[in-house]
């Protein structure tokens, strides 16, 4: 049983989706995350243990990404492997057997159409056990506020790649804090810095997807 759980984590870290997946080459023909998750559940493994394996695998590849030892394609394959496992766990989430750590509302701010960074954050955070509500790109302040009303107690992530949209990000942070002062807001993106995040009034700054997951995990489960 422990061997299967460890294999799930490894498959996610390496991006081995299923037996038919040719990637990575050194694992060609081996069972992937899909088969291992199915086998683990059939053998009586708890969904929480399998979810923890997803968490571990995504943390490992996220740490490598932060150290420039892995790159976007590897991270995308890891996320694909994680999604294969999550498909097996979906019934447990729907039944309430497994509960997410909390909800994370995420979006690229108004005026910015870039989504690669946001999507990577979404994948890594979801792999760490959070339910992600992805609002997409060019998200106006009103949509963030509506999402917070719909998901009380959520954490919020704002992404921007363009320097010209930092003003929109700051305005959104201020609006959120004005209407929902206890809502935790995390910001990130190429033009951002920790100092800029503080000036905006955000609660945190993440330079990369793993940093976003670490920030949320340090906060603990949402109420």
Peptide bond into 24 cis (omega under 30): yes
Task: State the Cα–Cα distance between residues 64 and 151, nearest whole angstrom.
Answer: 32
By CB atoms closer than 10 A (0-12, 13-18, 19+), residue 44 is exposed
Task: State the Cα–Cα distance between residues 96 and 10, nearest whole angstrom.
Answer: 27
pTM score, whole prediction: 0.74
Task: Give, in order, the Cα–Cα distances in Å from 103 to each of 65, 72, 131.
Answer: 24, 24, 5
- H or E stretch at 185: strand 185-188
Domain limits of the chain? 2-95, 103-219
pLDDT digits (tens, 9 = 90+) for 155-211: 999 999 898 999 999 999 999 999 999 999 999 988 889 999 999 999 999 988 888
Question: Is 61 in a helix, a strand, or coil?
Answer: helix
pLDDT digits (tens, 9 = 90+) for 138-159: 999 999 999 999 999 999 999 9
- For the 2-95 domain, the top CATH level (class) is mainly alpha
pLDDT digits (tens, 9 = 90+) for 87-116: 898 888 777 777 888 999 999 999 999 888
Architecture of domain 103-219: 3-Layer(aba) Sandwich (3.40)
């Amino acid at each position: 049983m422990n061997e299967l759980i460890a294999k799930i984590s490894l498959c996610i870290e390496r991006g081995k989706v299923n037996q038919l997946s040719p990637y990575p080459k050194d694992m060609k023909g081996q069972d992937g995350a899909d088969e291992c998750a199915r086998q683990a559940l059939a053998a009586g493994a708890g969904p929480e243990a399998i979810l923890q394996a997803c968490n571990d695998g995504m943390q490992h590849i996220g740490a490598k990404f932060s150290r420039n030892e892995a790159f976007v394609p590897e991270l995308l394959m890891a996320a694909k492997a994680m999604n294969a496992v999550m498909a097996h766990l979906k019934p447990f989430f729907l039944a309430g057997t497994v509960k997410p750590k909390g909800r994370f509302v995420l979006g690229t701010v108004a005026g910015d159409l870039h989504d690669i960074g946001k999507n990577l954050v979404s994948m890594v955070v979801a792999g760490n056990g959070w339910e992600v509500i992805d609002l997409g790109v060019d998200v106006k302040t009103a949509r963030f506020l509506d999402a917070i009303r719909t998901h009380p107690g959520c954490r919020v992530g704002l992404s921007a790649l363009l320097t010209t949209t930092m003003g929109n990000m700051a305005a959104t942070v201020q609006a959120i804090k004005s209407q929902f002062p206890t809502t935790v807001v995390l910001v990130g993106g190429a033009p951002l810095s920790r100092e800029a995040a503080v000036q905006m009034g955000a609660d945190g700054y993440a330079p990369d997807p793993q940093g976003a997951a670490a920030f949320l995990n340090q906060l603990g489960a949402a109420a």
